[in-house]
Amino acid sequence: MSWISSKPIPVNERLIVALDVPNIPAAKELVRQLGDSVIFYKIGLELFMSGDYFELIDWLNEQQKRIFVDLKFFDVPATVGRAVKQLSNKKVDFVTIHGNNAIMQAAAEQKGELKVLAVTVLTSLDRGDLDDLGFKCDVEELVTSRAKRAIELGCDGVISSGLEAPGLRNSLGQNFLIVSPGIRPVDNRPDDDQKRVVSVEQAFHNGADHIVVGRPIRDAENPRQAALDIQETIKAVFE
């Protein structure tokens, strides 16, 4: 069964490129390289620690790009709520949170126009990693449980591997966002830390609304062409 998203999202905004680079100049250079081939960008912890994170947010807004702040807020619920409220005053589209019911509820209550995405299970984790963390349930069961609670508490969607997306759609419907990282247009490299991966087509047929792609674009011989190729694949899925 296909779970292709029917949400009114422009096709060229379904691709989110991860700016997983060491500093702000490198991030800006990649954005310039990609030009109009990419509209939506994810900026995470590495860039946050490099300094001038919010200057980059302002610059991306000047370039008329959409922005996904991926800092996976996890702290005392009141602190997370205040952090989300601060971020809601910026021109940002998505933010990630990680944690229990109280954390998710605090974030949802302060989000304003910002869309809050709850992390389910990182795509770098497999069954063995979950055993190490003390989770004895099935991966899909854990993802569905976390997603259900996040939606009930007011979050706008979840971060989930495309592998678990069909189960989420089947159990919870279409009225929330699924953003899927761990996208690999080609076979994984031996040094790749992503374990639960899917292709572009599989992610969308499984129910993802957006995909996050990093290395397959960033490390390509021609990043702009790599992005354009993925955009063409996405376009074909939604035609």
| Residues annotated catalytic, as ranges | 72
Q: Kindly give the interhelix angle for 53-62 and 24-34, rounded to the nearest 10 degrees.
A: 20
Q: Return the number of other C-beta atoms located less than 10 Å from residue 39's C-beta.
A: 18
Half-sphere exposure of 17 (CA within 13 A, CB side): 31
Q: Return the number of other C-beta atoms located less than 10 Å from residue 6's C-beta.
A: 9
C-alpha to C-alpha distance for 99 and 129, rounded to whole angstroms: 18
Residues whose CB is less than 8 angstroms from the CB of residue 154 and which lie 6 or more positions away in sequence, other chains included = 104, 105, 108, 109, 111, 116
Q: DSSP state, 36?
A: G
